[in-house]
Every structure is written in C-alpha cells, then in structure tokens.
Chain A
C-alpha cells in the first residue's frame, strides 16, 4: 500500500490555502474588473502544479504536470457546468440545497467528461 507522509501533505494544504487567500486579497486590493479577474485566479491548480516541482524534475515533471493539467481541464469544464447549474438551482431550491445539488452535478459531470475523453 502507498504510504503518504504527513509533512508533504500538510505543506500542500498550506500552499493551496495560502494561494487561494493571496488571490482573494489581491482581488480585494485591485477591485473593479482587475479584481474580478483575480477573484478567479486558478490558485488551486497552480499550487498543485508547483507542488509537483518539489518531488519531480525533468521529463517526469513535465509528463506528470501535463497529465494533471489534462485532468484539471476536465475539472474546469465540469466547473463551468456546475456554476451554470448552481445559478438556476440556487434560485429554485435556496443557496444551501442549490449549492449541494450543483456539487452533485460536478461530481457526475467530471467523471463523465473524463470517461468520454480518456476512456477507462
């Protein structure tokens, strides 16, 4: 069974959390349209890719980053579906139930897109 060390896991948690908080603070500092752009900074994706640079290098890093990016592309398309679904589901069912249903849409959509693009 694969062993997962706690320190690298905690470091990635801190990196991901800090990246999201930093982009939020940048969005608030800039405000307006530039702020709106930074509010959707792909912080989680970049933190995930940059953290790969800690463990891998050369062609292995490139190959793994490419695969994670392809997976993230599937996730991003599912995100758009989830957000558009949420905009109507929240109005219909309220924000708690609407958000939960929209996340179910994401959980179904992402594997379906993955299977359609990459198969088993």
Chain B
C-alpha cells in the first residue's frame, strides 16, 4: 500500500511538472518573438526534478545524487535526439521522417549512455565499499 502511494505521488509530480513544461513552452511560443528561446523550456528537466524529489524525500541525499548521475546519461541521449531532429528538419525538410530518425537516434544513443553510466556507478559503488572495508 505504501509502495502504491509512493508511485502515485511520483506519477502525480511527474504529470504536473511535465504538463507545466509543455504549457510554459506553448505560452512562450505565443508571446515571445524568439521561438528558439521558447524551445529551451521544451527541455526543462521536469523528470529529473521529480526523480530527485522522490529519491530525496523517501530515501536520502546520496540516493538523490546518484539519480542525477543516471539522469545525466539519459539527457545525453535526449541531446542526440534533439540534435538529430533539428539537423534532419533543416536538411531533409520532412517533419515526420525527422522525428522518426530522432527517436531512433535517441534509443541507440541512450542505450549506450545508460550502459556506460551504469558501469560507472557500479564501479563507484565497488570502490566505496572497498574503501569502507577494514
């Protein structure tokens, strides 16, 4: 029951932050003449904030810090995705195809970055437990 409550709070927080980011991006697109600047809010780290709040609230600061390192790997994959989308839209001039290629680039690059980060975090944990041993 407690786990269910945690999940619902987690999902509610993610829903509000994700929805607010897209809504803010929409408002800025309507009122600002600089559309690129408005696009910055399409990358607001809403998911990371929710994950850190949940890890900090129900765990501790060390767990929350580890969550941010995991999130940075995912963000690198998202950067590849967005770069591919911008590049393809500029050069292929096809909206749907550009988004499809961007999603493919996101999946492959995220897999690699997450794999590398998991190995880094596992190595760090082994290093810490090794140092802690008498």
Question: A: which residues have CB within 8 A of B?
Answer: 2, 4, 8-9, 12-21, 23-25, 33-34, 36-37, 39-49, 51, 53, 61-62, 64-80, 82-84, 86-88, 90-91, 94-96, 98-99, 102-103, 106, 110-111, 114, 118
Contacts and interface: CB of A to CB of B under 8 A. Distances in A.
A20 to B, nearest CB: 3
Given A13-B19, A16-B18, A17-B16, 19 more contacts: A13-B20, A17-B15, A41-B106, A42-B78, A44-B18, A49-B99, A53-B95, A68-B25, A69-B82, A69-B89, A71-B36, A78-B40, A78-B43, A80-B76, A90-B68, A95-B60, A99-B53, A99-B64, A114-B40
Contact of B44 (A2, A68, A75): A75
Contacts of B55: 95
Size bracket, chain B contacts: 35 or more
The interface centre, meaning the residue of A21, A36, A62, A98 with most chain B CB atoms within 10 A of its CB, is A36
B133 interface: no
A78 B99 CA distance: 22
A75 B39 contact: yes
Contacts, number: 262
